[in-house]
């Protein structure tokens, strides 16, 4: 029981002075990219630099929900592939990712919202993803815990039901991918901070760390919420990102009562019951950019009010823990994935907002293809940074340009 701690990803490797690729950020996107670079492209001379420990950031702070019922034609196929990958990766990594495809219910609180949901359903069905609408009565039959009374703040008109979505154990994904990547020879360097990125004649030449310099022709920044500030500081490339703290909390454990992931845009709340019985629930983001990752009484109160309205069985149930992470929001709620522009060998993968978890595996796989061959796969082309100067923003959310509590 008190044996020595042996990480799944092997012994601590020596930091070499040169690698074929350096990935800054030991989160899910970085680990997935490294795993697929090594496994599918034979590039195993790779280093992952993580300032703290793998899974410290968004990877270990999200509420573990996975789904593929987004709005636009460009985004949905990527999320679908990610959703399809969970059972495959569970086998491939020989590690139980605890994928529980319990289904997602998005509550709709007006006829206008039902119409919007109808468009989302069309996008999903066009791509062969199961998703359909429920009226309030069908919703109540499917999930009896929900309050469909007209006497609540935002009465429920119906819901969008997405059966293949659900929950994946986020820590298991971190550990499984780290184990897989290390098996193919990837070096995972924890407590190693990248301090500078070097370029010469428009090409990447190396990375400075607090443990010495690394020579490399390829650098990927996938440091979650810290990416935008880092890319601006190290390379002077400004990004259309606002970094906001987003909070989440769990209640005391209850007997099985909630069978789906339930979310409501109107209440700014979502909830699911974990396998331990706790209700894991998340709130909206802070209304101003900050890197504090601190929780506030404001949101605990908000969450209690929202949940006791549409999930009344939670009245009187206590919150047990609360935490927060960072969401890097873009004006169109879609990520920025780009490479070799304007610097050869520089890749970035950021701006995921609160969608980073559900997309990590498929994105890592395509990004690995991008980094190995230098050509951007079609799947990632819509996410170029240049879309903003062409004013071709994606329509994931209507009219979200400057992030604030109002929208």
Q: Using the rule CB under 8 A, is 380 a contact of another protein? A: no
Q: What sign does the CA torsion over 108, 113, 116, 118 have?
A: positive
Give me the least distance between CB of 143 and another protein, in Å please.
Answer: 33
| CB neighbour list of residue 33: distance below 8 Å, 6 or more residues apart | 23, 220, 222, 349, 363, 364, 367, 368, 371
Pick out residues in 230-249 that bind another protein (CB under 8 A).
Answer: 232, 238-243
Distance in Å, CB of 283 to another protein, minimum = 14
Question: Per CB under 8 A, does 296 bind another protein?
Answer: yes
What would the x/- binding string for another protein be over residues 147 to 186, using CB under 8 A?
Answer: ----------------------------------------
**Shortest approach of another protein to residue 242 CB, angstroms?**
6
Which region, judged by CB under 8 A, interacts with another protein, from 72-80, 159-167, 263-271, 293-301?
A: 293-301
Find the shortest distance in angstroms from Cβ 236 to another protein. Answer: 10
| Residues in 89-148 at the binding interface with another protein, rule: CB under 8 A | none
Q: Judged by CB under 8 A, does residue 406 bind another protein?
A: yes
Is 106 in contact with 168 (CB distance < 8 Å)?
A: no
State in angstroms the smallest separation of the CB of 21 from another protein: 24
DSSP 93-138: TTS----B---EEEEE-SHHHHHHHHHHHHHHHHTT---EEEEHHH
Beta strands across the sheet bearing 219-221 = 187-189, 46-49, 21-24, 219-221, 346-350, 336-339
Q: Which is nearer to another protein, 245 or 263 (CB)?
A: 245
Closer to another protein by Cβ: residue 278 or 338: 338
Task: Let me know if 212 is exposed, middle or buried by CB neighbors in 10 A (0-12, 13-18, 19+).
Answer: exposed
Q: Which residues pair with 327 in a beta bridge?
A: 244
Q: Which of residues 307-346 bind another protein (CB under 8 A)?
A: 328, 331
Query: How many chain residues touch another protein (CB under 8 A)?
Result: 30
| 392 is an interface residue for another protein by CB under 8 A | no
Kindly tell me which of 59 and 243 has the beta carbon lying closer to another protein: 243
Q: Which is nearer to another protein, 227 or 361 (CB)?
A: 227
Stretch that binds another protein, among 23-31, 185-193, 215-223, 387-395 (CB under 8 A): 387-395
Position 290 contacts another protein (CB under 8 A): yes
Between 278 and 396, CB nearer to another protein: 396
User: Is residue 14 near another protein by the rule CB under 8 A?
Assistant: no
Nearest to 182 by CA among 295, 309, 276, 47: 47
Rounded-to-integer distance, Cα 75 and Cα 161, Å:
19
Per the listing, tokens 């492209």 go with 41
Q: How far apart are CA 183 and CA 92, in angstroms?
A: 12
| Cα–Cα dist 149/191, whole Å | 52
Structure tokens at 381: 């082309």
52 binds another protein (CB under 8 A): no
Q: Quick check: helix, strand or coil at residue 89?
A: helix
Binding of residue 398 to another protein (CB under 8 A): no
Among 12, 41, 137, 298, binds another protein (CB under 8 A): 298
Question: How many C-beta atoms lie closer than 10 Å to residue 402's C-beta?
Answer: 9
Query: Of the two residues 19 and 403, which places its CB atom closer to another protein in the complex?
Result: 403
Q: Which of 80, 152, 158 is nearest to 116 (CA)?
A: 158
Q: Token pair for residue 76?
A: 């949905």
User: Nearer to another protein by C-beta: 161 or 299?
Assistant: 299
Is 55 in contact with 62 (CB distance < 8 Å)? Answer: no
Which residue, 242 or 397, is less far from another protein as judged by CB? 242
Residue 377 interacting with another protein (CB under 8 A)? no
- Residue 79 binds another protein, judged by CB under 8 A: no
Q: Look up residue 92 and give its two tokens.
A: 């491939």
405 near another protein, rule: CB under 8 A: yes
Q: Which residues bind another protein (CB under 8 A)?
A: 226, 228-229, 232, 238-243, 287-292, 294, 296, 298, 328, 331, 388-391, 401-402, 404-406
């Amino acid at each position: 029981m008190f044996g020595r701690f042996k990480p799944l990803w092997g012994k601590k490797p020596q930091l070499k002075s040169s690698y074929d690729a350096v990935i800054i950020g030991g989160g899910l996107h970085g680990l997935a990219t490294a795993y697929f670079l090594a496994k599918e492209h034979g590039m195993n001379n790779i280093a992952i630099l993580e300032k703290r420990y793998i899974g410290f950031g968004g990877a270990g702070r999200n509420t573990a929900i996975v789904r593929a019922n987004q709005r636009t034609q460009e985004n949905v196929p990527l999320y679908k592939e990610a959703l399809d990958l969970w059972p495959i990766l569970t086998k491939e990594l020989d590690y139980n990712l605890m994928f529980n495809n319990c289904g997602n219910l998005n509550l709709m609180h007006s006829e206008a919202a039902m119409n919007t949901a109808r468009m989302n359903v069309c996008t999903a069905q066009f791509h062969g993803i199961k998703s359909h609408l429920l009226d309030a009565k069908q919703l109540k039959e499917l999930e009896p815990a929900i309050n469909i009374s007209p006497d609540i703040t935002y009465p429920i008109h119906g819901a969008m039901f997405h059966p293949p979505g659900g929950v994946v154990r986020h820590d298991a994904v971190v550990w499984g991918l780290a184990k897989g990547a290390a098996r193919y020879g990837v070096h995972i360097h924890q407590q190693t901070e990248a301090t500078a990125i070097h370029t010469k004649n428009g090409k990447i030449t190396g990375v400075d760390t607090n443990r010495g310099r690394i020579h490399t022709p390829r650098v990927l920044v996938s440091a979650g919420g810290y990416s935008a500030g880092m890319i601006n500081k190290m390379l002077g490339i400004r990004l259309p990102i606002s970094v906001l703290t987003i909070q989440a909390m769990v209640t005391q454990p209850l007997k099985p009562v909630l069978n789906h992931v339930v979310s409501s845009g109107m209440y700014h709340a979502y909830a699911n019951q974990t396998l331990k019985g706790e209700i894991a629930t998340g709130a909206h983001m802070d209304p101003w950019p900050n890197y504090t990752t601190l929780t506030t009484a404001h949101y605990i109160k908000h969450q209690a009010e929202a949940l006791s309205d549409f999930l009344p069985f939670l009245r009187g149930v206590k919150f047990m823990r609360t935490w927060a992470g960072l969401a890097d929001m873009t004006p169109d709620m879609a990520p920025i994935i780009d490479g070799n522009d304007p610097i050869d060998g520089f890749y970035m993968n950021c701006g995921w907002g609160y969608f980073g978890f559900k997309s990590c595996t498929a994105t890592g796989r395509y990004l690995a293809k991008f980094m190995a061959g230098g050509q951007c796969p079609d799947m990632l082309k819509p996410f170029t940074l240049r879309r903003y100067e062409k004013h071709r923003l994606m329509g994931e959310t209507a009219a979200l340009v400057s992030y604030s509590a109002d929208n």
